Amino acid sequence: MRLLLILSAAFVLAAVPAAAQTWNEIGDAGDLPASAQLPQGTGTFNQINGTLLSGGDADMYCIHIPNPGVFVATTCGGTTADTQLWLFDPTGLGVTHDDDDPGGCGLQSSITGAFVPGPGDYLLAVSQYNWDPYDAAGNLIWQNTPFNFERAPDGPGAPGPVASWGTSGFATGPYSIIMTGVHFCPSTPVEHATWGSIKGLYR
């Protein structure tokens, strides 16, 4: 009986790594392509867990979208914080954004593949309201309103890549981003040459 228990425990422990398709933020994820975290794993990628820090925080992660038609990322049910979700291409150009869920879950956020141009590696960012991405000239890449519509970049900074974030952040605390139609990025994402600092963590 005792041996059986030990064997059972060993089996459970062995099964955990294979079942875990979650990434837990390490330290504070960066907010720009050069400092984004590169989650480590293979195959389906279901969830990111992290924390929004006080004073203004955005956390950016690499995700792979194999089929934009089924892509969804949401913080509905994943936090009580007033979040914003953002998707950028690997160079930092804006793809899509939502502040408050169009489906009405509340102040949490949901984005889909509606504006994703094709399969590939993308940068998914979460921030608190109202911590927003700016281009190099200090222009908003997305307008603040309407709050509850998913939108492609529609601000004066829409043509340029994200260069900074601002200017006031309110909500803080833990979050989970629940994802559908997402895989882990490869260890060397396509069109991206600045992952070295993150990869270095795992050597």
| Nearest approach, Cβ of residue 58 and Ca ion (Å) | 5
Tell me the DSSP string of 2-62: HHHHHHHHHHHHHHHHHH--EEEPPSS--SSTTT-B-----SB--EEEEEEPTT--EEEEE
Closer Cβ to Ca ion, 29 or 116, answer by number: 29
Closer Cβ to Ca ion, 17 or 55, answer by number: 55
Which residues, listed in sequence order, are joined to residue 49 by a DSSP beta bridge?
A: 24, 176
Q: Is 3 exposed, middle or buried (0-12, 13-18, 19+ CB in 10 A)?
A: exposed
> CA-to-CA distance for 179 and 73, rounded, in angstroms?
4
| Nearest approach, Cβ of residue 174 and Ca ion (Å) | 13
Tell me if 130 contacts Ca ion by CB under 5 A.
yes
Tell me if 99 contacts Ca ion by CB under 5 A.
yes
**For Ca ion, which stretch binds (CB under 5 A), given 78-86, 113-121, 155-163, 188-196?**
78-86
**For Ca ion, which stretch binds (CB under 5 A), given 1-9, 19-27, 131-139, 155-163?**
131-139
List interacting residues with Ca ion (CB under 5 A).
28-29, 57, 59, 82, 99-100, 107, 129-130, 132, 144
